[in-house]
Amino acid sequence: MKKTLSSAMLLCALSLTGCGEEATQDPVDSAPKLDSQSNILAFLEGKTLVMEGDNIPSHPLSLDEDINWGSASQCFQKVSIGVGGNNFHVTSTPGTILNSTGVGQAGSTCDHAAAQNALVFDSKAVTLSNITAGGSCFEILVDYGSFKQEGRVSISSDMKKISMELYFEAKATGWHCADGAVGAKTVSVSGQAFTGNAVQVYTISG
């Protein structure tokens, strides 16, 4: 007598279902691997990073936002960074420094709400190094041509924010990941312990 296979037996024979027990598959991990320069820049490619409001630190690049530093002043209303081609396209909207008595002099105040004309500039190269697993800390060097910024960076575990603790090249020490996490009080600027907040926090969109 010719035997026929039941539907269940046929599926089992074709390995489409489990035989006698429920078939299981290992879940596919589709999260980006933030473990190398190429992987981190690929994750950021085409995205926009935005810093505004309470995410603006009191001392970007270690400079007090309330002091008039001339062309290097760090009073911002908003900073947007478009990432493309492994480089940064920066649109920086300054706030207004009120009651300035001169460059480098105390007594003035950064008014974040009073926006000035935006400044636009592009990086020439972005280099990442000393990357820890998951992007919890890595070091960055951004070359803008006429100046460079360096520091340590972290990407949040939900990949929605990136925190960049940056300084002008060769102006600070103790900012490497080996010295501590982003924002750790390990930095000296011009030989003096830095106690301000230089951590720029950007939301990641796109």
Say if residues 113 and 77 touch (Cβ distance below 8 Å): yes
In a domain, 154, yes or no: yes
pLDDT for position 133:
86
Could you give the number of structural domains in the chain?
Answer: 1
The dihedrals phi and psi of 202, each to the nearest 5 degrees, come to: -115, 135
What type of residue sits at position 24? T
pLDDT at 160: 98
Q: Is residue 13 domain-resident?
A: no
Q: Residues near 120 by Cβ (< 8 Å), separated by ≥ 6? A: 89, 90, 91, 92
Closest CA to 81 of 52, 42, 39: 52
Q: Is 197 a member of any domain?
A: yes
C-beta of residue 87 within 8 angstroms of C-beta of residue 105: no
Does residue 189 form part of some domain?
yes
Q: How far is CA 35 from CA 83, 111, 178, 193, in A?
A: 18, 39, 16, 31
pLDDT tens, 92-108?
999 999 999 889 898 89
Task: Please determine, for residue 201, whether its predicted confidence score (pLDDT) is greater than 50.
Answer: yes
Q: Is the pTM of this model over 0.75?
A: yes
pLDDT at 81 exceeding the cut of 70: yes
Q: Decide: 63 and 74 in contact? Cβ < 8 Å.
A: yes
b/e 147-182 (16+ beta carbons within 10 angstroms → b): ebbbbbbbbeeeeebbbbbbbbeeebebbbbeeeeb
- pLDDT over 60 at 74, yes or no: yes
Task: Band the pLDDT of 19: cuts 50, 70, 90.
Answer: low
Query: Mean pLDDT throughout 108-114?
Result: 95
Q: Who has greater pLDDT, 134 or 5?
A: 134
Q: Is the Cβ–Cβ distance between 31 and 65 less than 8 Å? A: no
Separation in Å, CA 194 to CA 40, 49, 154, 190: 29, 26, 20, 9
The proportion of the chain whose per-residue pLDDT surpasses 90, expressed as a percent, equals 81
Domain that holds residue 54: 37-205
- Is the distance from CB of 202 to CB of 162 less than 8 angstroms? yes
Q: Is residue 29 part of a domain?
A: no
Q: What is the C-alpha separation between 95 and 73, in angstroms, rounded?
A: 10
Asked whether residue 155 is assigned to any structural domain, the reply reads: yes
Flag whether 174 is in a domain.
yes
Spell out the residues 6+ positions from residue 159 whose beta carbon is closer than 8 angstroms to its own: 31, 32, 34, 43, 204
The pLDDT of residue 17 is 47
* Backbone phi and psi for residue 78, each to the nearest 5 degrees, phi listed first: -165, 145
pLDDT-based confidence at residue 168 (cuts at 50, 70, 90)? very high
* 195-201 average pLDDT score: 98
Is the pLDDT at 20 greater than 90? The verdict is no
Asked, for residue 11, whether it belongs to a domain, the answer is no
